[in-house]
Amino acid sequence: MREIGTRSEVDDLRRTIGAHRTLLQRAAVRILGCRDAARDAVQEALITFWRHPPVPGEEKAWLLRTVIHRALHERRSRQRRERWEGAAAEAWMEDCPICNPHREAESRELGAAVDEALASMPEPYRTTFVRRELDGLEYDQIARDLGVPVGTVRSRLNRARAMLRAHVGPDLVVDEGTA
């Protein structure tokens, strides 16, 4: 690695860089679309130029190629970072009830409406619905426990779901699969 040399070496470097700085800056801005990020890419290329001599071939071409590579790398990194940060932010917002108070309020309102609907439902329908949807029992198990045919369990579930939808609203989706 090269250390800062004599005054004449620094002046030679400034002349070399000064002749190409505008071209390098424009190339980086075209790729990155941001003057600040372009300045950083040019600065990194110039630091590499200073620290690792000698430059193979023509200095202008080497500097331009190095700035382009640095700018493209920065653009890819920025796009990757934005994509990952965006996905992480969306996932975090979906899972966080504190961060999404509207969703939390809707969830509480829906829970209260379902509780109210279940409380107002006639007993045989409520028991059948709770055993299927909350306890997760199969139709034949519910039928055995209640001492009724499986067809009765199915019809009670159908009516209980209809009562629930009527009370809560049509937006509520309740599993209506048959076993």
Per-domain boundaries in the chain: 7-94, 101-168
Q: Measured between alpha carbons, how far is 78 from 63 in angstroms, rounded to an integer?
A: 22
pLDDT of residue 44: 87
CB 21 within 8 A of CB 42: yes
pLDDT tens column, 14-73: 777 777 888 898 999 999 888 999 999 988 888 887 777 666 678 888 888 889 999 999
Q: 3-state DSSP call for residue 73?
A: helix
In this structure, what are the phi and psi dihedrals at residue 40, rounded to the nearest 5 degrees? Answer: -65, -45
Q: Can you read off the two tokens belonging to residue 169?
A: 């609203």
CB 32 within 8 A of CB 75: yes
Domain 101-168 has CATH 3.40.50.720: no
Q: Can you read off the two tokens belonging to residue 31?
A: 């790729």
Domain 7-94, CATH number (from 3.40.390, 1.20.58, 1.10.760, 1.10.1740):
1.10.1740
pLDDT of residue 179: 41
DSSP state for residue 173 in the 8-state scheme: -
Answer with the residue of higher pLDDT: 60 or 4. 60
Minimum mean pLDDT among 49-58, 112-121, 126-135: which range?
A: 49-58
pTM above 0.85, yes or no: no
Identical fold between 7-94 and 101-168: no
Whether the pLDDT of residue 139 is over 90: the answer is yes
Residue identified by tokens 């070496």 is 9
